[in-house]
């Protein structure tokens, strides 16, 4: 926070303000690279380094004013041709994207530090209708399987090409009766129980 335009480190407003969250590999790599540069700055400054304990500081370790971050964000957003939004709005963009991607609202609520999930649901209710439709489709797919339009064709050729021709030649060379129950007679019948055997 700031007092008379001076940065003052204070405790979070609520218990949820101090929490641990997971970071994606790209963010972790960027933070490690930043940490490496910060250590180089600290060596270059020597005894003039101000150990504020903050992650983002000036080259001599002094705290950055919050407004500086907002100005830099505006500059980068403008250079990238993005619509003008506040830095704080990125938090809302993240939450909306997470919910739209199917991340459970409870997880999003905890990552945002909301006191309870009801705040998250009320704030981002505009995302919920689409989530409801996707939930219905996902559960139906799990129980009923994919729609017919996505199922592979049930009619498949038994054989084709040279393989089919070779099979026909093999059938011609067979002795009558060899395929049907191995009886070896001229009146072959299917293997298995016969009608006359069932009556005995």
Token output for 141: 């797919």
**Residues 86, 2, 52, CA angle at the centre, nearest 5°?**
105
pTM for this model (two decimals): 0.57
What confidence tens digit (pLDDT) does each residue in 32-78 have?
A: 999 999 999 999 999 999 998 889 999 999 988 888 889 999 999 99
Q: Is 155 helix (H, G, I), strand (E, B) or coil?
A: coil
Q: For residue 3, what are the β-bridge partners?
A: 6
Token output for 156: 């498949």
What confidence tens digit (pLDDT) does each residue in 85-104 have?
A: 888 889 998 998 998 888 88
Whole-number Cα distances in Å, 179 to 50, 59, 163, 170, 171 = 92, 88, 19, 12, 9
Q: Do the beta carbons of residue 59 and residue 41 sit within 8 Å? A: yes
């Amino acid at each position: 926070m700031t007092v008379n335009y001076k940065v003052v480190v204070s405790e979070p407003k609520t218990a949820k303000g101090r929490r641990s969250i997971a970071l994606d590999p790209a963010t972790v790599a960027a933070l490690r690279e930043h940490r490496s540069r910060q250590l180089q700055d600290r060596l270059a400054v020597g005894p003039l380094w101000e150990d504020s304990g903050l992650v983002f500081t000036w080259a001599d370790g002094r705290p950055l004013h919050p407004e500086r971050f907002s100005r830099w964000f505006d500059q980068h957003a403008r250079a990238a041709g993005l619509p003008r939004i506040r830095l704080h709005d990125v938090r809302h963009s993240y939450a909306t994207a997470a919910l739209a991607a199917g991340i459970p609202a409870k997880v999003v609520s905890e990552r945002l530090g909301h006191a309870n999930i009801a705040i998250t649901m009320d704030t981002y209710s505009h995302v919920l209708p689409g989530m409801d439709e996707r939930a219905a489709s996902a559960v139906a797919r799990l129980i009923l399987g994919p729609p017919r339009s996505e199922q592979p064709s049930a009619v498949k050729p038994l054989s084709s090409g040279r393989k089919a021709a070779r099979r026909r030649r093999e059938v011609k060379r067979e002795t009558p009766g060899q395929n049907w129950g191995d009886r070896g007679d001229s009146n072959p019948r299917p293997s298995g129980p016969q009608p006359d055997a069932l009556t005995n």
